[in-house]
Structure 1
Amino acid sequence: MLPNHLFSIWEISKRIIVLILLAIGPIGCKKLIEVDPPVNSIIGNEIYNSDATASSVLTGIYTDMSNAGVFCGSNSISLRAGLSADELVATTEPSDILNRIYTNSLTNNGDQLFWTDLYTYVFRVNSAIEGISQSQNITQSTKRQLLGEAKFLRAFFYFYLINFYGDVPLLLSTDIKVNNVASRTSTDEVYKQVIADLIEAKESLSTMYLAANLSTESNERLRPNKFVASALLARVYLYVEKWDLAEQEANFVIDGTSKYTLESLTNVFLKDSREAIWQLQPVNAGMNTFDAAVFVLAAGDGRPEGPDGQAFSRPVYLSNQLCENFELSDRRKLLWIGNANSNGRVYPYAFKYKAWIFGVERTEYLVVFRLAELYLIRSESRLMQGRLTGDNSAETDLNIIRRRSGLENLHSSDKLTMLTYILNEKRSEFFTEWGHRWLDLKRTGKIDQVMILAAPLKGGSWTSYKALYPIPVNDIKRNPSLRGHQNPGYPEI
């Protein structure tokens, strides 16, 4: 069940794989990585012999999450799920993976998208949980915080696995004999584990944002705290339709602290944004976020230059369907969408992250969770509990977000109308962020209705099975328990 490259390494030496998987990435982000990363002399469980080195294990995961891959850049959830839905237009050749995602024409041969990366992270977190739990040398306060961070991360990774692939193997250890033959676990059971991990994480984590040494408070929002765990728990409860619990967790974040407030639209994605609940710090020298590097088109031919004049082609721009969804007076369209001219044509692009130029001061961090989502989670939860209008109702939270964007209040006593308002607001608020549109279409049962119209406009066609991505063929071949259990519509070989 582990990715191909992990199998051979594991069979060579357990100690070596721990080294490789837990290695710290680039060390240019000093505010996050204040503790020296582990070096090759620290191997196996010895990495858990002190608070500092144990902390660096989780720091290494955050660093790698910031360094392209599944969480940012051209392979990211934000870009690829946006292509799957109706947010983005691909500019690549038909044979390219991004074009196959865009036309909803995925196969199982090499089109693994997020599977391998996410399971690699799951394995790393499981390894950390085992090492931290077994250590006799880590102080109890550090052990508590690190286990909270690790449990949160495992929940975060599994949230995306089940929402992209449906039933998935639930791996809770590094036992190769167990993992190698793990069968698919029902989505309901995986959600139970996700919720259990998040409840444990919320209990264990500090209310503060901690620095890398875990002993001092940080001004930056880079390590998960209680409110980060609660934010994901609110989202999960929304997805499993536990409306009262979703509202409760949203309340905990919105009303439980003065740390968070809605920012002006120009400040939402800055590194010191008070709307941010959890951020990833860019780690590449001379760069801000990979999302800016991928989404922002330059004036002229849309090919901004990087170091030494190297051209970086942007693979996507925003779809007409998305741009036409904005109301005329919506300030998000003015401030979060840019326009590039090329050969007499205007190409709209996501301009939430603006600092794509190399060598500038680092001003933007990648926002993973932010307060606006909690307002809209609470709005939908209140709607589903029958509180549509009046004080502390669905319309209350919906209109808080709308007023921030310069829009008038909306009012309706009809449940379906109000749900449409909320989902439209989420579409305008969270485009090109973490697959919100794609996942909302699926969880609300609207995906067929939307995609049967959108797919032909993208040069493809739509069938319901395409709501899930294919399991990589190599994993099916390797794991006997997966044979015969490919997602419907995709061949196994």
Structure 2
Amino acid sequence: MADDLRYLSSNTTILEYGANTYNSTTASSEAFTGYYQVIYRANAIIEGLTNYTGTSAAVNKQLMAEAKLMRAYCYFILVNFHGEVPLVLQTDPNVTAYLPKASVSEIYKSIVADLIDAKSNLLADYSFTSGNRNGVNKFTAAALLARVYLFTGDYQLAEANATEVIQASNLFSMIPTATMGSALFVKNSTESIWQLPPSLVATNQSTTEAASFIPSSNVIAALNFDLRPSFLSLFSTGDRRRTLWMRDLTIAGGQYVIPLKFKYRTTTEAAAANVTESQIILRLAEQYLIRAESRARLNVNLGGALADLNVTRSRAGLTASTTSDRALLLEEIALENRKEFFCEQAYRWFNLKRTGQADAVLPVLKPAWRPAAKLYPIPLLVLNNNPNLTPTTGY
């Protein structure tokens, strides 16, 4: 959907999303309804724990805060993919089944309220999940708040929340250059703030990313994606991300480069290597770049913004930037974001839209591009089930 990857296979749905030619009829309802299923469960937990006395007050507080954080995360994804969507905050189907869309500002207001509440009530460590980072704590909420505030343009609050996470050095630290290829995208990495539980990955898949990007055999039919040459050209000589997070392949005489942040297609392969890889939802590097961008946009502490930018540059093996011009610094931060977080969630897609660049960048690669494609359509099945829902503008 963005501009870092090329799709090389023949799945019709993926081809449509790659070309941004989706519509309400062909759009899959699976992801859309999947997020609402999680939201429903979160709402049920919140309602069920209210005045519940079967567990301790401390456990109730933690679980309710976790539910609010999860609800906020789901709405963050939904609002960035779809724009206006129903804001469901209760479980009564007589109400929820027929809700109209809420405005983007209303949805963000709910996201922020949930995250502030979660941040106030979650524990300050991972003890609730026995040290495992597929659980959440107050710094998970702060990290997600920092991202949300960046997206809404509340840069002072984005900077403040990112700083809280960065200063929690007893929990979080950047994986060093020497091991960034092997120790970052693994279970309980010190750079991870929030990881996806392994139970959410398909059977015998180590991670969804590895299963999608690494071909099962050295034939062209097994290759689904590769990285665009235009993207590869952004990496300077000596950038360790180019050597440690990618793999060059020769298949049927053709040259391809695939993402390799995750190294093992199957749990069998990972087990043989004695490695447990985990998808990361939030990690420390993002907080440095959020703080860098926030400081630069506020036009205060540009030296601090530059220092934050150089955290990821230095880890990648690059010389420190010395940029003093604010506009150039913002350009460098945007480029660093793109190189650091390629193929992680929808990072590039969301940032293209957040920064207003999608309509300028994507038509060059996608002849069928139209401005309405910045939002995914609400699937027709969902529209048909709720007469109060209207199609996404442009569909």
Query: What is the match of residue 322 of structure 1?
Result: 231
TM-score, structure 1 normalization: 0.75
Match of 1:352 among 227, 244, 261: 261
Query: What is the match of residue 393 of structure 2?
Result: 488
Answer whether contact 1:388 1:412 (CA < 8 A) is retained: no
Query: What is the match of residue 201 of structure 1?
Result: 118
Q: In the alignment, does 2:254 pair up with 1:341?
A: no
Whole-angstrom distance in 2 between the partners of 1:142 and 1:285: 31
**Deviant stretches of 4+, over 4 Å:** 284-287
Q: 1:402 to 1:241 in 2, by over 3 A?
A: same
Q: How many pairs align?
A: 384
Q: In the alignment, does 2:96 pair up with 1:184?
A: no
Query: What is the match of residue 99 of structure 1?
Result: 15
Give 1 or 2: higher helix fraction.
Answer: 2
SS of 1:455's equivalent? coil
Whole-angstrom distance in 2 between the partners of 1:349 and 1:159: 28
Q: 1:389 to 1:260 in 2, by over 3 A?
A: same
Query: What is the match of residue 134 of structure 2?
Result: 222
Of structures 1 and 2, the one with the larger relative CO (CA 8 A, separation 6+) is: 2
Whole-angstrom distance in 2 between the partners of 1:175 and 1:379: 43
Answer whether contact 1:388 1:413 (CA < 8 A) is retained: no
Query: What is the match of residue 240 of structure 1?
Result: 152
Amino acid at match of 1:323: L
Measured against aligned partners, the alpha-carbon deviations of 1:125-162 in whole angstroms (never above 9, x if no partner) come to 11121112242212101100000100000000000000
Query: What is the match of residue 293 of structure 1?
Result: 211
Whole-angstrom distance in 1 between the partners of 2:103 and 2:28: 20
Query: What is the match of residue 66 of structure 1?
Result: none
Q: Which shifted more, 395-404 or 130-139?
A: 130-139
Answer whether contact 1:250 1:375 (CA < 8 A) is retained: yes
Query: What is the match of residue 65 of structure 1?
Result: none
Whole-angstrom distance in 2 between the partners of 1:227 and 1:105: 38
Answer whether contact 1:302 1:341 (CA < 8 A) is retained: no
Answer whether contact 1:112 1:470 (CA < 8 A) is retained: no
Query: What is the match of residue 132 of structure 1?
Result: 49
Query: What is the match of residue 4 of structure 1?
Result: none
Answer whether contact 1:388 1:415 (CA < 8 A) is retained: no
Whole-angstrom distance in 2 between the partners of 1:466 and 1:388: 37
Aligned-pair distance for 1:243?
Answer: 0.6
Match of 1:395 among 270, 281, 306: 306
Q: 1:409 to 1:299 in 2, by over 3 A?
A: farther
Answer whether contact 2:125 2:171 (CA < 8 A) is retained: no
Query: What is the match of residue 168 of structure 2?
Result: 256
Structure 1, unaligned runs of 5 or more: 1-83, 213-217, 304-312
Whole-angstrom distance in 2 between the partners of 1:433 and 1:254: 20
Q: In the alignment, does 2:241 pair up with 1:332?
A: yes
Whole-angstrom distance in 1 between the partners of 2:34 and 2:169: 34
Q: In the alignment, does 2:370 pair up with 1:468?
A: no
Amino acid at match of 1:487: T
